[in-house]
Amino acid sequence: MRKNFTAIAAAALALGVGSAVAADLPSRKAPAYLPPPPPPWTGFYAGLNAGGTFGADDGVTVGNGALYATPFPAPALAQSSALAASAAGTFGPLSTNNGGFIGGGQVGYNYQLGSAGLNAFLVGIEADIQGIAGSNSSVSAFGAAPMPLVGPGFNVFSATQATRQLDYLGTVRGRLGFLVTPTLLLYGTGGLAYGGVSSSTSVLQGFSAFTGPTGQAWGAAGSYSDTRVGWTAGGGVEWMFMPNWSAKVEYLYCDLGTVSYSSGVTGSFLTGTGAPLFLNGVTTSTRFNGHIVRVGVNYHFNLGAPAPVLAKY
């Protein structure tokens, strides 16, 4: 009996010592897994931009169409006055200067696919709006045409002034880019463009003669102002120069289409009688399109980036 108790006590002592030694041995548990951070480009961003804009088609076309010509004092006068007045008033494209300073802000969202290398791409969407300073331009022209069928000294003349202006411009665009390095992005972009445009035209037309009947000048004016919607496309380069901050250089071509409007009726009246010598309808057309070169800076909030997976122990 005594021997059995001694054996049990020895076994219990050995088990306790073994457990203590095992507790002092280093743990073999695998280290915690820390997932890589989300791609630096993924998430929302906002920023500012500034640059210059200049028109592609900067012409304003003002045209006259003959509506009426008096038969006095002869059919030759009627025919000549209508044709000559239209010729004098139709100047074709009048060149205007539509360059200006552009500045505003943008917001957007990026989603990065892969890391820098052959599989590093970025897709996103961006919206911006800018004010434009110095884009208001005007042009004046004067034309005269002789009336050889009537005789020497008979002329019609036209004085024309036209303006055009782009007040503001905004875009909503998709972006598709390639990461040359983890911090350098090359991208193309395109989508919808919209902007506030305005144009006006005034024309003064008359008839003069050294001898014979004389005419009193009569003028007309018209204008257009509206928000136009069109398209835009371009590209750029963007550099993440420090965490959450990037700078970009961008080019865009924007086209808001062609605007046409009527400026009423102009012509000349026979002095002293109030009878019209000729009447012409005035129309104006101009196209609002152009180029934008700008620089910008963005702050990346990383809101909307994929959440990291927490390590489990």
The SS3 call for residue 18 is helix
For residue 86, what pLDDT is reported?
53
- 85 pLDDT higher than 90: no
Output phi, psi for 11, to 5 deg. Answer: -65, -40
Most confident range (mean pLDDT) of 47-56, 165-174, 196-205 is 165-174
Q: What is the pLDDT of residue 131?
A: 92
Report d(CA 217, CA 268) in Å as an integer. 5
Contact yes or no for 249/236 (Cβ under 8 A): yes
Q: How many CB atoms lie within 10 A of CB 196?
A: 18
pLDDT(188) > 90: yes
- CA proximity to 268, closest of 210, 227, 215, 192: 215
pLDDT band at 151 (very low <50, low <70, confident <90, very high): low
pTM for the full predicted model: 0.75
Of residues 133 and 1, the one with the higher pLDDT is 133
Element of type H or E holding 182: none
Give the H/E segment covering residue 253: strand 245-270
SS3 of the chain: helix, strand, coil, percent, to 5: 10, 65, 25
More confident residue, 194 or 304: 194
On the question of pLDDT at 200 being above 50, the answer is yes
Share of the chain above pLDDT 70, in %: 64
Considering only residues 150 and 160, tell me which one the structure prediction assigns the higher pLDDT: 160
For residue 52, give every residue at least 6 positions away whose Cβ sits within 8 Å of its Cβ, in sequence order, or none: 99, 100, 101, 102, 292, 293, 294
Average pLDDT (19-43) is: 59
Q: What is the mean pLDDT of the chain?
A: 77
**Please, which residues have CB within 8 angstroms of residue 86's CB and are 6 or more apart in sequence?**
64, 65, 66, 280
CB-neighbour burial class of residue 118 (10 A; exposed 0-12, middle 13-18, buried 19+): exposed
| Inter-residue contact 140 to 90 (CB < 8 Å) | no
Q: What does the angle CA 84 – CA 87 – CA 93 come to, to the nearest 5 degrees?
A: 165
C-alpha distances (whole Å) from 132 to each of 51, 88, 280 are 10, 34, 36
Residue 46 has pLDDT above 90, yes or no: yes
